[in-house]
Structure 1
Amino acid sequence: MKHPIRLFLCLFIGLVLAGCSGNKSGSDGVYTVKRGDTLYKISRMTGTSVRDLASMNGISPPYTIEIGQRLKVKGSSGTKKSSGSSRTAKVTPSSAVPQSSWPPVGQRCWRWPTSGKVVMPYSTADGGNKGIDIAGSRGQPIYASGAGKVVYVGNQLRGYGNLIMIKHSEDYITAYAHNDKMMVNNGQSVKIGQQIATMGSSDADSVKLHFQIRYRATAIDPLRYLPPQGSKPKC
């Protein structure tokens, strides 16, 4: 898969975050985005490649989609016939992906994006947090958790405020939300540990960083992959 972003980030992307639901993809070749959907998942369900979905619907990086959005797909080849004439596809949220399918710890080198108390951990519950929330003070530095290329800088994704997304490989993306000042631009290459923003409360009720690690568009638990807080990664 060449485009693991969702967007999420719905990042969550709303990257994308919860609940199983059904959706009909009729003969008109239109799919209505539901909670928990990503382009990757819709691609799997409809048999339309991520590349084609993005091209047919004018979606550009970071490939953000919204609940209720109607997407053109290649018919309904990726769905199965039910007892009636319509075809249905079951949506599997990222939180339902078994942890056994997550990448092994140590596969990549990650560092903490900032210091502070984790006030909300990752959760697999329906509607649960698909990252970690780290409390801190306004203006506190936010660092790139890994080397990569910035693929999104903006505030168009409701609920995440000033958001930065970094692509680290074809499989990994990290997201940094609720920033105050953003210090990088789209397309910019960054090093691990490079400051990319300052902590803020944009579109949030308190000063904090919402941080996600996404593997093939699936949000995975950052605490499983980050080193002990306060220590440098051993890689």
Structure 2
Amino acid sequence: MNMSRSLVAWACVASAAALLAGCGSTSVNRAPVEDRGTSAGAAQGSAETGTPAIDPKTLPGYENMGKPGYYTVKPGDTLIRIGLEHGQSWKDIARWSNLENANVIEVGQVLRVIPPGASAESGAVTRPVASAGVPASAPAPSASTPKASASAPVASAPVPAPVPAPAPAPAAGSDEMNFMWPANGSLVAGFDEARNKGYDISGKAGDPVLAAADGRVVYAGAGLRGYGNLIILKHNNTFLTAYAHNQTLLVKEDQNVRKGQKIAEMGSTDTDRVKLHFEIRRQGKPVDPSRYLPSR
């Protein structure tokens, strides 16, 4: 009898312990993406998971799905990564997409990734241009306009001296970039489109990390997995540069920086050794830095 009571008590204790263990296993790390289902997964939601299916037409921006200049959010996406891969500031994407909370985006949601009024191919904003040599406000001649008499003397208008045309300013998306090396260390890993999207440059903790060209800080933080403490600079409508694994960040978002300015100190955040991971991205796509950096 005592043996039976002991076994029952032991079973109750084991069950309680298992229940407590299950309650303590909740993950606290959650990406800022809410998965409400996509057009494929939502249709099966009710049958397989017991949750109601999500109509993709209810997701924000659905009417723009598939259009040039728009992006449909996938599982694991963050605004920072979407901005990096489309050559834009995550803040700009949030504003163009009218996001109420930039920290929460939904799988299947459609975001605008080019400026309003820009072409999807170049990202440059297009504006109407008046015909050269004709003032936009000049009235068109009408039938009621009196003509000059054939016998009336007509004074000849003075011919203006030719004015030399000003040198054209470089286009906002010009490929004529003059980058410099962002660190003085040796190259320890080169560009590989599949495995390494930039250069890895060696150094000691605290070594200076320099801006490779003039630009604006569009991201400074540690919100992109695999990059550690990261800085992203936007140089024009075509180019971004990224500087990863820093131990200290010395600039803030929306700050303008000059070429050669110290923007960070080298470190080993989110990697196994002290190094700078440096990327050049053309319209969001990683390119081989050797095409743009001077030889040394």
TM-score range relative to shorter protein: 0.5 to 0.7
Determine which of 89, 98, 104 is the counterpart of 1:55: 98
**Structure 1 pair 143/39, CA: closer, same or farther in 2 (3 Å)?**
closer
Superposed counterparts of 1:24-39, under 5 Å? 25=39, 28-29=56-57, 31-33=72-74, 38=82
Deviation of 1:227 (Å): 0.3
Question: What's the counterpart of residue 168 of structure 1?
Answer: 235
Q: TM-score, normalised by structure 2?
A: 0.48
Deviation of 1:148 (Å): 0.8
- Of all paired residues, the percent bearing the same amino acid is 39
Matched, 1:107 2:176: yes
Question: What's the counterpart of residue 120 of structure 2?
Answer: none
**Structure 1 pair 55/195, CA: closer, same or farther in 2 (3 Å)?**
same
Question: What's the counterpart of residue 195 of structure 1?
Answer: 262
Question: What's the counterpart of residue 147 of structure 1?
Answer: 214
Matched, 1:73 2:110: yes
Supply the AA of the counterpart residue of 1:226.
L
Deviation of 1:130 (Å): 0.8
RMSD over equivalenced CA pairs, Å: 3.3
**2:75/2:107 contact within 8 Å kept:** no
1:118-174, Cα deviation, whole Å (9 max, x unpaired): 11111123xx11111111111111000000111111011111111011111122111
Deviation of 1:111 (Å): 0.3
1:71-110, Cα deviation, whole Å (9 max, x unpaired): 4128xxxxxxxxxxxxxxxxxxxxxxxxxxxx99x71110
**Structure 1 pair 202/107, CA: closer, same or farther in 2 (3 Å)?**
same
**1:178/1:203 contact within 8 Å kept:** yes
Matched, 1:156 2:193: no
Supply the AA of the counterpart residue of 2:193.
T
Superposed counterparts of 1:94-133, under 5 Å? 107-125=176-194, 128-133=195-200
Supply the AA of the counterpart residue of 1:211.
F
Structure-1 separation of matches of 2:180 and 2:264: 15
Structure-1 separation of matches of 2:84 and 2:217: 20
Structure-2 separation of matches of 1:109 and 1:216: 17
Q: TM-score, normalised by structure 1?
A: 0.59
Superposed counterparts of 1:17-28, under 5 Å? 25=39, 28=56
Structure-1 separation of matches of 2:283 and 2:199: 18
Deviation of 1:32 (Å): 4.9
Q: Which has the bigger relative contact order, CA under 8 A and spacing at least 6? A: 1
Deviation of 1:35 (Å): 8.0
**Structure 1 pair 132/155, CA: closer, same or farther in 2 (3 Å)?**
same
Superposed counterparts of 1:210-221, under 5 Å? 210-221=277-288
Question: What's the counterpart of residue 179 of structure 1?
Answer: 246
Supply the AA of the counterpart residue of 2:207.
Q
Supply the AA of the counterpart residue of 1:124.
E
Structure-1 separation of matches of 2:259 and 2:238: 17
**Structure 1 pair 225/172, CA: closer, same or farther in 2 (3 Å)?**
same
**2:217/2:255 contact within 8 Å kept:** yes
In terms of fraction of residues, the more helix-rich structure is 2
1:24-70, Cα deviation, whole Å (9 max, x unpaired): 7566145451689846989xxxxxxx67874358448xxxx8xxx61
Supply the AA of the counterpart residue of 2:107.
R
Structure-2 separation of matches of 1:180 and 1:207: 9
Structure-1 separation of matches of 2:293 and 2:85: 26
**2:209/2:265 contact within 8 Å kept:** yes
In terms of fraction of residues, the more strand-rich structure is 1
